[in-house]
Amino acid sequence: MLMTLQQRINILVRLGNYMQENDEAWQSAKRKAFVNNNWFIEDFVDLAVNNIVQQLLQPEALHQLAASYKIPDTLPAPKKVGIVMAGNIPLVGFHDFLCVFLSGHIALIKPSSKDEALITQLVNLLHQWEPATQQTVAILPLLKNCEAYIATGSNNSSRYFEAYFSKFPHIIRKNRTSVAMLSGKESTTELESLADDIYQYFGLGCRNVTKLYVPVGYDFVPLINALRKYSHLTDHNKFKNNYDYQLAAKIINNEYYMTDGTILLIENKSPFAPISQVHYEYYEQADDVLQQLSGDEAIQCVTGTAAIPFGGAQTPGICDFADGVDTMAFLMDLGSGN
């Protein structure tokens, strides 16, 4: 028997409550997540979980999303939607699962090998709490016989996705990153919030800031001081190895760099930067930069603007769809048979 919309909302809210509890099975899943992927330290797993609970699993947000898209109690012919999840930050594919489940379609999930433990525990819980979810949510090693696909990966893997899924309705996401616009008038608090946008998840997320646009003559000293908020990340072996490697490369190649001791600031036009490095570019007219960025498909978001203040990169709301592609509209169109 299919669950009603209210039942789906209720169980998602219950899931959010559970994710904030100290249940041993949940804590064990978090520990396993770190063992499988050493980038998933406790602080960042907890950060991802808290953002999901606060932004995606509150009753008001779920009801608002359902009302905005006129999600029906049940779909007359729910489709099997394959979800290929990335593994760059903890539970990065949760929003896709939420949209498919809430819409009334069948969510068939292939997690990344880098991020299996958390989503597996949550799906197992759904099956325990409500047997009906065993027919509507599953974790699979391979996705076959799906009627639509949502896949997230690198530019390289996206080419394979395009080949495999081109005959089916699909959303395919590629590499993206985020940037920040600075005026030079930022307060210490704002700069420390920008440090969050840069350092959280070790900079591995598509919403992490990897490039700064700064006015000509910008004084970097206050920013470098603010970045020291994350000096403890040098205790993380993999992050420190990346920093040491990038620093050595700059010294050997006699390249100019600035550093707070944990991250390198490099003048470079590319929005993409390796781990432990942030690029910057000088500008004369902020409006010109913003106009240029608005048409750049590589950019996920721009912080330091009215839309996304510093520190807001990693807290997208329930209607902030990745890559600007409306996942829920795609699913509702699928449900209508179009």
Ordered by where they begin, the domains of the chain are 5-175 (3.40.605.10), 177-303 (3.40.309.10)
Do the bridges between strand 264-267 and strand 258-259 make them parallel or antiparallel, or are there none, so unpaired?
Answer: antiparallel
Buried b (16+ CB within 10 A) or exposed e, 224-261: bebbebbeebeebeebeebbeebbeebeeeeeeebbbe
Cα(93)–Cα(90) distance, integer angstroms: 8
Instruction: Assess contact for 100 and 7: CB atoms under 8 A.
Output: no
Using DSSP's 3-state secondary structure scheme, residue 327 falls into helix
- Distance set, CA 322 to CA 150, 245, 319 (Å): 11, 31, 9
Percent residues over pLDDT 90 in the chain: 91
- Largest Cα span, the chain: 67
- pLDDT, one tens digit per residue, over 36-87 is 999 999 999 999 999 999 999 999 999 999 999 999 999 999 999 999 999 9
Please state the length of the chain.
Answer: 338
pLDDT band with cut points at 50, 70 and 90 for residue 173: very high
DSSP string for 251-270: HHTT---EESSS-EEEE-S-
Q: 172 pairs with which residues across the strands?
A: 151
Cα(247)–Cα(240) distance, integer angstroms: 10
Long-range contacts of 198-201 (CB under 8 A, 24+ apart): 198/227, 198/230, 198/263, 198/278, 199/227, 199/229, 199/230, 199/233, 199/263, 200/44, 200/47, 200/313, 200/314, 201/39, 201/44, 201/47, 201/48, 201/88, 201/89, 201/90, 201/314
Do the bridges between strand 148-152 and strand 106-110 make them parallel or antiparallel, or are there none, so unpaired?
Answer: unpaired
- pLDDT, one tens digit per residue, over 182-221 is 999 999 999 999 999 999 999 999 999 999 999 999 999 9
The pLDDT assigned to 160 comes to 86
Cα(298)–Cα(132) distance, integer angstroms: 40
pTM of the model: 0.95
- pLDDT, one tens digit per residue, over 273-309 is 999 999 999 999 999 999 999 889 999 999 998 779 9
Instruction: Assess contact for 272 and 175: CB atoms under 8 A.
Output: yes
Enter the tokens of residue 266. Answer: 């490099």
The angle at the Cα of 24, spanning 18 to 27, to the nearest 5 degrees, equals 75
Instruction: Assess contact for 258 and 265: CB atoms under 8 A.
Output: yes
The pLDDT assigned to 319 comes to 94
- pLDDT, one tens digit per residue, over 86-126 is 999 999 999 999 999 999 999 999 999 999 999 999 999 99
Q: 282 pairs with which residues across the strands?
A: 214
Enter the tokens of residue 38. Answer: 């050493």
